[in-house]
């Protein structure tokens, strides 16, 4: 069965510092991985995806994610955090058998000014 895990419920970072939001995956077959962000009272917004190719994936709003097959990880990163990046971040894996996304439990990112 496909699954993702987000080991941190919350990540705190100071504005201007680099940020990392962690995600590990467990899949049978090739992993197809996604990051979404959810702001209060808004739907999930797509940030980036890894399907194949380069292990470093660049996405929206200056975010990037590093796919690491040996560590089965897909961590979300940004070189310099903004207060406006404060939101709930979800990692997800695509299940090809059912065409659904399987989400992690989410990580709340708090960026302090």
When asked if residue 104 is in the footprint of other proteins (CB under 8 A), the reply is yes
Q: Considering only CA atoms, which of 9, 17, 20, 6 is closest in space to residue 66? A: 20
Residue 98 in the binding site for other proteins (CB under 8 A):
yes
Pairwise CA distance, residues 74 & 57, whole Å: 10
> Binding other proteins by CB under 8 A: which of 27, 76, 87, 92?
92
In angstroms, give the least distance from the CB of 99 to other proteins.
5
Q: Is 106 in the site for other proteins (CB under 8 A)?
A: yes
> Interface residues for other proteins in 42-81 (CB under 8 A)?
42-46, 49, 51
d(Cα 58, Cα 48) in Å, to the nearest integer? Answer: 7
**Between 7 and 16, CB nearer to other proteins:** 7
Which spans of this chain sit near other proteins (rule: CB under 8 A)? Answer: 32, 34, 36, 41-46, 49, 51, 90, 92, 94, 96, 98-106
């Amino acid at each position: 069965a496909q699954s993702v895990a987000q080991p941190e419920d919350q990540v705190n970072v100071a504005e201007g510092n680099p940020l990392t939001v962690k995600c590990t995956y467990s899949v049978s077959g090739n992993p197809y991985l996604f990051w979404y962000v959810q702001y209060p009272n808004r739907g999930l917004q797509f940030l980036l995806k890894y399907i194949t190719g380069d292990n470093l994936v660049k996405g929206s709003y200056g975010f990037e994610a590093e796919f690491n097959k040996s560590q089965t990880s897909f961590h979300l990163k940004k070189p310099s955090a903004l207060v406006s990046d404060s939101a709930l971040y979800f990692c997800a894996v695509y299940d090809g058998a059912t065409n659904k996304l399987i989400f992690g439990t989410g990580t709340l990112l708090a960026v302090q000014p």
